[in-house]
Chains A and B, each alone.
Chain A
Amino acid sequence: MFKQLAVVCVGLIGFSLQAGEVQTFENQFGKVDVPVTPECVVSLHDFSLTIQLFELGVRPCGSVARKRLWSDAIFRGVQHRFNTEGLMYVGSHKSPDEEAIAVLEPDLIVGLSYQNKFKAKLDQIAPVVILATKDKPIKEWARQLAELTGKSARFEDQQKEYDWIIGEFKRLVPEPEKITVTTLEIYEDNFQLIGRGGLDEVIADMGLSRPQGYLEAKKGINYSLERISDMDADIIIDSYEPLLDSREDTADFRNSAQWKNLFAVKNNQFLYLNRSRYGDSMGGLIGSAYLLLSHIAERDFKKQ
């Protein structure tokens, strides 16, 4: 009995050491001492960090979300895949509510690069780690997030699956650089070059090309719909947001002759996806990779 008691005591001491252990995380935003296994993580971006945390098996205790004044908060890209019961809404990603975060008593707060300005205030609540999601590929910051939360094994599984899909694609498509893909978002009177759910990263990893007009254009700029033909490619991928009725709002343009004359549209090589289906996470990379594998490598299609 004495031996059993001793084992229990050693186990408890080990657990308390584990629970109290701290690691130092360092990136271009500085060094931060964070708990090895955080128990309450607050995410400052639902569409990337919150999704990735859930995919790693870490249930954050709080997250920013999208909200209209008299409606419930929507954790974009999360609610249709994971049970969000107990996940507290802490404001918008542009102005998270420090008080709502303080109520949760988190032991780790994670944010994106443009949220670095909140670090000074939020540091008073818990260690704040800023991940360079804009400068680094999803694989890299997701790995950092996994290391932060002690879930590297789960991340390695995701990485393995993703690498398999890329390898499979390259096996089935020996010359991917001869296939052009455009990722964009069409609005009522303009469009932008955006690839959701890690599509741009997947396209680069698969070795696919971009049309010349796409390469010369810039991301984040509103372009006139008159320039849509410059973005014509073997495959065009657009996305709609169900929350904003964007599919209905842009129906007129998709019925226009200018749109229907595009090579990709004429040859049924236009993909129209739900923008919130895949977030900017490893799950998004995997989903987008399977998408392109099916639509390019596992069917016959025409090239320009």
Chain B
Amino acid sequence: MKQKQLPSRSVRIKLFSRMSFYARSNDVFWLLFFGLLLLFMLLWGAAIGSYQLSILKSWQIIIAPELAPEKLVRVVWEFRLPRLLVAALCGAALAIAGVILQSITRNALASPGLIGVEAGASATMLVFVVIVPGVIPVFLLPVFAMIGGFIVASCVWLLSSLRGYSPIRLVLVGVGITSMLSAFSEMLITYGDIDLVESALMWLGGSLHQASWPQVKVMMFWLLIAGSLAWLCFRQLNLLILGNKVAFSRGVDNRKAVPFLLLLCVALTSASVATAGTLTFVGLIAPHIARRFCANRHGALIPLSAVIGACLVVLGDSLGRSVFAPLQLPAGLVLVLIGAPYFIVLISRLRKA
């Protein structure tokens, strides 16, 4: 039997007794590096805020809360940790969704917002907050936002695949529907009751202010399920990015693979938007940053993008709540300030290419 040729400098990673896979040592190194960076940022985020702590102190409070003063335990465990974890989980989810979308559309500028999920979730939220307030309980608003995102994404998919799937058609239909829903949202914001609108605007800006432990659990559920399934499809994504014909020749039928991957993308994006509002740019930037380290090897690209996306949102939220404390800037706003310059650089490089 012909022995499989492995890339040079590979490491064997054993998951279970009979399950193992090979990964490039480079990829493993960067995953560990960014993983440690994320851990450091979480500790740093737990230390900064209106109540200043040292990183060592925050580590002690996290590891041994029974030994710390109750006041500090409350600040770290009830106010900061849920927020940081939700930020990390939402960032990871959006980054994975961005990887999927950029690969199936073969478009470097694709982001999770393209398929209308963000716009759908935002419009749904505004309808229930501004037009028919009080109809559904506040704690169910994220669920309805998620359903709205799913419905819009389904419409985008159906409209773009009527005459067979085409990446460019998906992008164009997504842009059109997103623009339409954005205009609708703007209309509600402009002409709605100002008290109700202001309440929704904080959420729309991508604010993690209301993050709590139940939301951490919900996001963890969605990320584990959809994120794991997305990673298991890394081979299909490696082939889809080479084109439909090449993928088909290798046994990947885009008529089955793309809808499934799109569903995972929508699930991850909807969950994130329903939890933390719109966090633009994460899904666009994180995959591109990750590609600088692992190119288009989706086996590494997906987890690396997830970790980088988590780092970005944790950074955005931590800066947003500490730079002008106690005034809090939405994480989404800070991310735009960080992401916009990178976006401009990206466009200029694409033009040169």
Are B51's CB and A91's CB within 8 A? Answer: no
For window 127-144 of B, CB contacts with A under 8 Å fall at: 138
For window 307-353 of B, CB contacts with A under 8 Å fall at: 321, 324-328
B195 / chain A contacts, CB cutoff of 8 Å: 114, 134, 220
* Contact residues on A (Cβ < 8 Å of other chain), bracket: 20 to 34
For window 247-294 of A, CB contacts with B under 8 Å fall at: none
For window 35-87 of A, CB contacts with B under 8 Å fall at: 67, 69, 73
For window 106-164 of A, CB contacts with B under 8 Å fall at: 114, 117, 120-121, 124-125, 134
Known contacts A94-B202, A124-B78; is-contact A99 B51 (Cβ 8 Å): yes
Are A95's CB and B324's CB within 8 A? Answer: no
Cβ-based interface call for B253 (8 A)? no
Q: Mark A25-43, 1 if CB is under 8 A from B, else 0.
A: 0000000000000000000
Complex CA distance for A139 and B327, rounded to whole angstroms: 31
Cβ-based interface call for B154 (8 A)? no
A102 / chain B contacts, CB cutoff of 8 Å: 51, 71, 74-75, 79
Cβ-based interface call for B45 (8 A)? no
B324 / chain A contacts, CB cutoff of 8 Å: 67, 69
Complex CA distance for A269 and B76, rounded to whole angstroms: 57
Complex CA distance for A68 and B71, rounded to whole angstroms: 30
Cβ-based interface call for A6 (8 A)? no
Interface hit among B24-32, B206-214, B218-226, B228-236 = B206-214
Known contacts A120-B212, A121-B212, A220-B194; is-contact A95 B74 (Cβ 8 Å): no
Partner of A94, one of B79, B80, B199: B199
Cβ-based interface call for B3 (8 A)? no
Are A222's CB and B191's CB within 8 A? Answer: yes
User: Total interface residues on B, using CB and 8 Å?
Assistant: 28
Q: Mark B176-205, 1 if CB is under 8 A from A, else 0.
A: 000000000000001101110011001000
Are A91's CB and B199's CB within 8 A? Answer: no
Q: Kindly provide the distance from the CB of A142 to the nearest chain B CB, expressed in whole angstroms.
A: 20
A220 / chain B contacts, CB cutoff of 8 Å: 193-195
Cβ-based interface call for B287 (8 A)? no
Q: Kindly provide the distance from the CB of B334 to the nearest chain A CB, expressed in whole angstroms.
A: 12
Cβ-based interface call for A209 (8 A)? no
Partner of B78, one of A67, A91, A100, A121: A121
Are B191's CB and A95's CB within 8 A? Answer: no
Q: Kindly provide the distance from the CB of A179 to the nearest chain B CB, expressed in whole angstroms.
A: 29
Are A121's CB and B79's CB within 8 A? Answer: yes
Are A100's CB and B325's CB within 8 A? Answer: yes
For window 65-79 of B, CB contacts with A under 8 Å fall at: 71, 74-75, 78-79
Cβ-based interface call for B113 (8 A)? no
Cβ-based interface call for B50 (8 A)? yes
Cβ-based interface call for A226 (8 A)? no
For window 215-254 of A, CB contacts with B under 8 Å fall at: 220-222
B193 / chain A contacts, CB cutoff of 8 Å: 220-221
Are A97's CB and B321's CB within 8 A? Answer: yes
A96 / chain B contacts, CB cutoff of 8 Å: 326
Cβ-based interface call for A214 (8 A)? no
B116 / chain A contacts, CB cutoff of 8 Å: none
Are A124's CB and B74's CB within 8 A? Answer: yes
Cβ-based interface call for A90 (8 A)? yes
B303 / chain A contacts, CB cutoff of 8 Å: none
B49 / chain A contacts, CB cutoff of 8 Å: 97, 99
Complex CA distance for A93 and B196, rounded to whole angstroms: 14
Are A91's CB and B327's CB within 8 A? Answer: yes
Are B79's CB and A99's CB within 8 A? Answer: yes
A97 / chain B contacts, CB cutoff of 8 Å: 49-50, 321, 325-328
In this complex, what residue of B is CB-closest to A222? B191
Complex CA distance for A95 and B198, rounded to whole angstroms: 11
Known contacts A89-B326, A92-B328; is-contact A99 B75 (Cβ 8 Å): yes
Partner of A100, one of B71, B138, B207, B326: B326
B327 / chain A contacts, CB cutoff of 8 Å: 67, 69, 73, 91-92, 97
B199 / chain A contacts, CB cutoff of 8 Å: 94, 114
Beyond A97-B50, A220-B195, A222-B191, 17 additional contacts (C-beta under 8 Å) are A90-B326, A91-B326, A95-B328, A96-B326, A97-B326, A97-B327, A102-B71, A102-B75, A103-B50, A105-B71, A114-B199, A117-B210, A121-B78, A121-B210, A124-B74, A124-B78, A125-B74
A→B interface (CB under 8 Å): 67, 69, 73, 89-92, 94-100, 102-103, 105, 114, 117, 120-121, 124-125, 134, 192, 220-222
B→A interface (CB under 8 Å): 49-51, 71, 74-75, 78-80, 138, 190-191, 193-195, 198-199, 202, 207, 209-210, 212, 321, 324-328
Can you name 28 A-B residue pairings with CB atoms under 8 Å? A69-B327, A89-B326, A91-B328, A94-B198, A94-B202, A95-B207, A95-B209, A95-B328, A96-B326, A97-B49, A98-B79, A99-B75, A99-B79, A99-B326, A100-B51, A102-B74, A102-B75, A102-B79, A105-B71, A114-B199, A124-B78, A125-B74, A134-B195, A192-B194, A220-B193, A220-B195, A221-B193, A222-B190
